[in-house]
Amino acid sequence: MRIYTDLQDIKHPFPRPFVTIGNFDGVHLGHQQLFKTVVDKAKHCKGTSIAITFAPHPLKVVRPDIGIKLISTCDQKRELIAQADIDVLIIIPFTKPFATIAAQDFVDEALIKTIGVEELVVGYDYALGRGREGDIAFLREQGKKKGFAVSVIEAIYVDGMLVSSTKVRELVSQGRMRDVRKLLGRFYQIRGEVQKGQQRGGRLLGFPTANLHIAADDLCPKHGVYVTQVFYDAKCYGGVLNIGYNPTFEGRKISAETHIFDFNQDIYGKDIKINLLQYIRGERKFSGPTALAEQIGQDIEEARGVLFKAQQDHLLSYTTVSAP
């Protein structure tokens, strides 16, 4: 997949471009359908499948007061779009001046002149340009006048839930990871560099942890304990994750602390990825380290059972978990 981060880097239109455009936060099943559509159309016509997105998310620029929490980082989004077999990804820097561009100008300059769009594929609720003035009706009218087709992918529902980034954020904040997986088509993942914490896990509790920092603008799952898969150095391990403030130790900073099963490497400063499979329980304050350690032991036993069953049900393909 070729990646452009500036429209000016595109020196001539692409061969028969089939284009989709959106924020694609989370790359959920609806986004995946957009990608599949442009990929299939482009392959059929020996053309070019193109996805256009923005960085940062437009709402961070035009409505910073909302404080939108993103499902995926830009790196995650790139990885997931590449997996969809898209030929070209264009990441447009979203700035305040860019937000003032009229929909008409974006169509003329970006879609037609720069890219050479043959067909535009968008979601049912998509709109582009200043103040979202370029809605579906506008895009269809532009297509008729200027010679490109417009296809609209209708809303997708799974178990009665609308597949949308907004719904995914809601489910993540509620800890409903099984439902999140239904809308994403994969497990919800957090990632980052392992930080040095208070080092109580191994020294005091007997369960060493890998700690990730959670920033104020990150989408934070519901506080509590989760069954996880942990990816490090091209290997996958089972684990349990606690997200919260460590009330037993009067913690004041939120953190994500993962105990990785059957693992004893020093990974401070290393990058890991963590899939959240299932919420086990809420975060609680215990009477002391002994009571907390006892509960962690129970959490680990339950997590191993969940992982083993998921493996038996073929939901996990490469995590080795012994029978509980």
97-129 in b/e form (b: 16+ CB < 10 A) is eeeeeebeebbeebbbebbbbbbbbbbeebbbb
Q: Of 79, 133, 257, 283, which one is the catalytic site residue?
A: 257
Handedness of CA 243, 245, 247, 249 (dihedral sign): positive
**Contact present, 71 and 172 (Cβ < 8 Å):** yes
**Contact present, 225 and 242 (Cβ < 8 Å):** yes
Q: Give the alpha-carbon dihedral of 285, 290, 291, 293, to 10 degrees.
A: 90
**Which residue type occupies 113?**
K
Does 301 participate in catalysis according to the annotation?
A: no
Q: Which residues contact 168 (CB under 8 A, 6 or more apart)?
A: 26, 28, 71, 180, 183, 184
269: left (phi over 0), alpha (psi -120 to 50) or beta: left
The count of residues in the chain is 324
| Cα–Cα distance measured from residue 6 to residue 90, given in angstroms and rounded to the nearest whole number | 7
Using DSSP bridges, classify how beta strands 161-162 and 224-232 pair: parallel, antiparallel or unpaired: unpaired
DSSP conformational letter for 26: T
133-136 contact pairs (CB < 8 A, 24+): 133/102, 133/103, 134/103, 134/104, 134/106, 134/107
Among all residues, which ones are annotated catalytic? 257
